């Protein structure tokens, strides 16, 4: 059960490969990590082959692209029976007087004719000026690297004696106990050299890399000072060349440079087609097919894969992106219109609600006011009815308001209908309770009219009236009296 679980266990690993600067005369520690270049080369080959295979299988289009394969350098360094590491191990194990110079001479004799190897003995006159007698040069795809053989033999030998390993394996320190396990004491073989150990370790890494699906992330630093605002073109150019970006770019450009899942492409560019905007309910692949048909893509410019859309030419993608950028202004205008309509509709609803609430409060106020008015009127009517019922009784609480109103109304009626002359004998009829007051007011009114009339009479008119009066008196006496 445990073995089955271990076989099914998934792993996520990270292999960092930082572009090396251009060294002059580097030594053994910088030479050994050449296998890291092989790991990087394997990953790049996998990525490039995977890119071309996807073009062939899915898009039925591929173009052969020549790019430098660093495997020839790896074979030069670790090849068997002739390789730099193999020759270095032989030189370390060979009896006799062996030095770094003898190791370099052996390299010159065995692999001196290799096109990617240079040393002082095999170089031409112009190249010898740049290579010392204790140096050799490897021509990598990213440039030439010169190595100094001083210390190669000493550093390649594992000089850790057996008695020291035994002492270290008996320690109680957990770190040292893991570095020097007791199982190594039972191995009676000669210890491997440093180069062989490193090569074996990386061989295991290569097995893991070949069984996994790599993803390449390339990072480029603009300068060696870790400062912003500084762009060293020489360093950047070296990193671009070292990382093989141009080769990878040519592989991409030779096939279908742009490849995206249907969901991603449809989500970004669906606004360019009325049939896919704003929401497409069908399968993403069908939506992308409708979209590219609407954009009038040439059949040779794209391919529809199983899960991705492949576009061959960057100009097609750029044209699509330009159309998308232009379309964004129309979409922004539509969004603005929708928002403004929503805002105005919300404002209208708010005003309408406020108006309705104001009307309801005003109507309630008016109804309340009318109710109070009618209530007061009902109370007044009730008082007058009670007063009318008790009008003939003595003044009390029930008829006091009625009597007061009757008096006030009668006085107002007299005011409006007073006689204008002494000859006018009309007088408003009075209620029974005001008969006495009415007769007194009538007499006072008549006296007032007579007084006003008398004040208007002139002496001439008065004498004339007297004469008429006397004549009338004599006439009534039948003329029996004479002077």
- Domain's final residue, options 177, 209, 235: 235
Q: Is residue 372 part of a domain?
A: no
- Mean pLDDT estimate for the chain: 77
Q: Is residue 57 part of a domain?
A: yes
pLDDT digits (tens, 9 = 90+) for 352-367: 999 999 999 999 999 9
Residue 323 lies in a domain: no
257 found inside a domain: no
pLDDT band of 58, cuts 50, 70, 90? very low
Residue 426 lies in a domain: yes
Please give the torsion angle defined by the CA atoms of residues 4, 7, 10 and 12, in that order, rounded to the nearest 10 degrees: 150
pLDDT at 5: 40
If one compares 46 and 29, the residue with the highest pLDDT of the two is: 29
Model confidence pTM above 0.75? no
Please write the tens of the pLDDT for every residue from 308-360: 888 877 788 888 888 888 888 888 888 899 999 999 999 999 999 999 999 99
**Residue % of the chain over a pLDDT of 90:** 10
Return the pLDDT at 231: 92
> Is 19 among the domain residues?
yes
In a domain, residue 229? The reply is: yes
Tokens in use for 441?
Answer: 């007011």
Q: 122 or 376: whose pLDDT is higher?
A: 376
Q: Could you give the number of structural domains in the chain?
A: 2
Residue 297's region, left for phi above 0, alpha for psi from -120 to 50, else beta, is beta
Q: Is 390 exposed, middle or buried (0-12, 13-18, 19+ CB in 10 A)?
A: middle
Q: What is the CATH number of the domain that holds 32?
A: 1.20.58.530
Long-range contacts of 261-267 (CB under 8 A, 24+ apart): 261/307, 261/308, 261/309, 262/287, 262/288, 262/307, 262/308, 262/309, 265/291, 265/309, 266/291
- Pick from 235, 260, 295: which residue ends a domain? 235
pLDDT at residue 155 in the model: 79
Contact residues for 475 (Cβ-Cβ < 8 A; gap 6+) = none
- Mean pLDDT, residues 141-150 taken together: 78
Domain-embedded: residue 380: no
Q: Which residue has the higher pLDDT, 111 or 71?
A: 111
Distances (CA, A) of 59 to 257, 306, 347, 441: 12, 10, 56, 126
Domain containing residue 449: 400-476
Is 50 exceeded by the pLDDT of residue 59? no
243-300, pLDDT tens digit by residue?
A: 777 777 776 666 677 788 888 888 888 888 888 887 888 888 888 888 888 888 887 7
């Amino acid at each position: 059960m445990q073995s089955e679980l271990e076989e099914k266990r998934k792993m996520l690993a990270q292999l960092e490969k930082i572009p090396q600067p251009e060294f002059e005369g580097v030594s053994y520690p910088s030479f050994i990590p050449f296998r890291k270049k092989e790991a990087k080369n394997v990953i790049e080959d996998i990525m490039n082959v995977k890119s071309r295979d996807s073009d062939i299988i899915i898009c039925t289009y591929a173009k052969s692209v020549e790019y430098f394969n660093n495997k020839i350098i790896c074979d030069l360094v670790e090849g068997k029976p002739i390789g730099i590491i193999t020759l270095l191990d032989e030189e370390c194990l060979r009896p006799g007087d062996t030095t770094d110079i003898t190791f370099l001479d052996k390299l010159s004799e065995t692999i001196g004719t290799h096109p990617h190897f240079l040393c002082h003995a095999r170089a031409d006159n112009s190249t010898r000026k740049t290579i010392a007698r204790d140096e050799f040069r490897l021509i990598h795809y990213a440039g030439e690297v010169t190595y100094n053989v001083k210390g190669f033999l000493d550093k390649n030998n594992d000089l850790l004696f057996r008695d020291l390993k035994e002492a270290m394996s008996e320690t109680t320190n957990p770190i040292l106990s893991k570095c020097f396990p007791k199982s190594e004491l039972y191995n009676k073989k000669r210890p491997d050299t440093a180069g062989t150990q490193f090569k074996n370790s990386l061989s295991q890494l290569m097995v893991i890399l070949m069984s996994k699906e790599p993803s390449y992330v390339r990072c480029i630093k603009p300068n060696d000072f870790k400062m912003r605002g500084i762009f060293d073109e020489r360093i950047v150019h070296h990193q671009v060349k070292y990382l093989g970006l141009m080769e990878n770019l040519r592989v991409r450009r030779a096939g279908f440079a742009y490849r995206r899942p249907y969901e991603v492409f449809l989500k970004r560019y669906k606004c360019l087609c009325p049939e896919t905007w704003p929401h497409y309910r069908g399968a993403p692949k069908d939506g992308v097919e409708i979209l590219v048909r609407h954009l009038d893509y040439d059949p040779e410019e794209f391919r529809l894969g199983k899960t991705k859309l492949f576009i061959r030419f960057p100009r097609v993608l750029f044209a699509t992106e330009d159309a998308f950028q232009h379309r964004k202004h129309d979409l922004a205008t539509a969004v603005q219109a929708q928002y403004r309509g929503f805002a105005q509709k919300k404002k209208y609803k708010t005003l309408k609600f406020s108006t309705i609430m104001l009307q309801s409060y005003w109507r309630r106020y008016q109804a309340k006011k009318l109710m109070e008015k009618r209530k007061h009127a009902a109370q007044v009517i009730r008082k007058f009815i009670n007063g009318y019922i008790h009008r003939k009784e003595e003044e009390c609480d029930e008829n006091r308001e009625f009597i007061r109103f009757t008096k006030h109304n009668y006085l107002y009626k007299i005011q409006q209908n007073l006689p204008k002359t002494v000859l006018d004998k009309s007088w408003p009829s009075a209620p029974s309770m005001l008969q006495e007051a009415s007769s007194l007011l009538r007499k006072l009114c008549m006296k007032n009219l007579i007084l006003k009339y008398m004040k208007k009479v002139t002496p001439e008119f008065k004498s004339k009236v007297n004469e008429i009066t006397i004549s009338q008196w004599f006439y009534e006496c039948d003329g029996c009296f004479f002077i």
